[in-house]
Homo-oligomer: A and B are copies of this chain.
Amino acid sequence: MSKRFQVVGIGNAMVDVLSHCDDAFLADNGVEKGIMQLIDMARGTELYDKIGAATEMSGGSAANTIAGVAHLGGRAAYVGKVKDDQLGRIFVHDLRAQGVSYDVPLAHADHAHETGRCIVLVTPDGERSMNTYLGVTEHLSPDDIDEAVMAEAEWIFLEGYRFDGPESHEAFAKAIAAAKGAGGKVALTLSDPFCIDRHHEAFARMLRDDVDLLFANRAEIEAMYDVAFDAALEAAAAEVETVVCTESEHGAHILAGGTRIHCPAVPTKVVDATGAGDLFAGAFLWALAEGYDLETCGTMANIAGSEVISHLGARVETDLKPRFREFGLKV
């Protein structure tokens, strides 16, 4: 019996501020390359004053994933907090315009914090270095979790980044209980190695008790299990039903039911790596909910990830289904 939503994502709601720079700029301004750093408003203002002209696009890791699910025609909802300000209204518009159900109340215009944003610095190699001011998204509370929505989800998709914030663990616990109580399943993305450092214990408990599908990349799964790559994959597969691990140009590895599948990457010129993992997860979840086998899920996910790195911004721009067909997949 299909539920109202195939995937409900919970994550940090953000508008991305995308700008190009060179590696020297990163070094001169204390930006560590290729990762996500949390910054406060003062640091955000300081950095913003130094970067070049920028482009604003809705972002947020799980929101990108969910936008990808909806892009593919999936039934998707999103939970993440923005303020009733211009950037917040942009964020809401862009999600709804892509067909995502989104009903989290906006934080009031008087709220002390603004809508979160992420200064994404893109270097000539296409790598992105993210500087995140969480703003109101840090204050997503259990009150923002609508148990009825969670109960209507075949999958809930939890963003590791969203574990930062005072009430986030409680909010996730509420979402998991509501989803699982209604027969739903739980997917988690570890988001990044530093995020794992901050929330290792919470992640470990969830992986053991709650998570049915884990998304990670190589660095993340090694950080999570603190062993070499293959051992980390095995350790994850021992406690999680399906483990999906990306390894950049080496493709994706899927471990489930005692088997291991490799899906080769789709060669692409990297313009902006922002969103690659997010769209990978979005296409994978959509394909899984549609009943495709795991290898096809991984192939579609690789194709989706390759689309989003071929242009600036973290949301899909071109219709993915024709691309799937070019690879011989039936959609």
A-side residues, CB < 8 A to B, are 48-49, 51-58, 67, 85-87, 90, 93-95, 97-98, 114-115, 313, 315
In the complex, what distance in Å separates the CA atom of A56 from the CA atom of B93? Answer: 12
Q: Nearest chain B CB to A222's CB is how many angstroms away?
A: 35
Nearest B residue to A51 by beta-carbon distance?
B97
Q: Which residue of B lies closest to A87 (CB)?
A: B86
Is the Cβ of B67 less than 8 Å from the Cβ of A97?
no
Contact A86:B114 (CB < 8 A) given known A49-B93, A52-B98: yes
Q: With A86-B85, A86-B87, A114-B86 as given contacts, are A53 and B58 in contact (CB-CB < 8 Å)?
A: yes
Number of copies: 2
| A54 CB contacts on chain B under 8 angstroms | 90, 93-94, 97
Name the contact of A67 in the complex, choosing from B53, B58, B90, B313 (C-beta under 8 A).
B53
Q: Are B57 and A56 in contact (CB under 8 A)?
A: yes
A94 touches B53 (CB 8 A): yes
Q: How far is the CB of A288 from chain B (nearest CB, A)?
A: 24
Q: A53-B95, A56-B90, A86-B114 are in contact. List 19 more A-B contacts (CB 8 A).
A: A51-B97, A52-B97, A53-B58, A53-B93, A53-B94, A53-B98, A53-B315, A54-B90, A54-B93, A54-B94, A55-B55, A55-B56, A55-B57, A56-B56, A56-B57, A85-B86, A86-B86, A86-B87, A86-B115
Considering residues A53, A54, A315, which has the most beta carbons from chain B within 10 angstroms of its beta carbon? A53
Q: What's the nearest-Cβ distance from chain B to residue A198, in Å?
A: 28
Q: List 7 A-B pairs, minimum CB-CB distance, nearest first.
A: A56-B56, A53-B94, A86-B86, A53-B97, A52-B97, A55-B57, A86-B87
Q: How far is the CA of A90 from the CA of B54 in the complex (A)?
A: 8
Min C-beta distance of A67 to chain B, whole Å: 7
| Chain B residues positioned under 8 Å from A114 (CB to CB) | 86
Cα distance A58–B87 in the bound complex, in angstroms: 14
Q: Name the CB-closest residue of B to A90.
A: B56
Task: Give the complex CA separation of A87 and B85 in angstroms.
Answer: 10
Most buried by B among A48, A49, A93, A114: A93
Cβ-neighbour of A313 out of B49, B55, B90, B315 (below 8 A): B55
Specify which chain B residues have a CB less than 8 angstroms from the CB of A98 in the assembled complex.
Answer: 52-53
Query: Of B48, B57, B115, B313, which contacts A93 at CB under 8 A?
Result: B48
A322 to chain B, nearest CB (A): 15
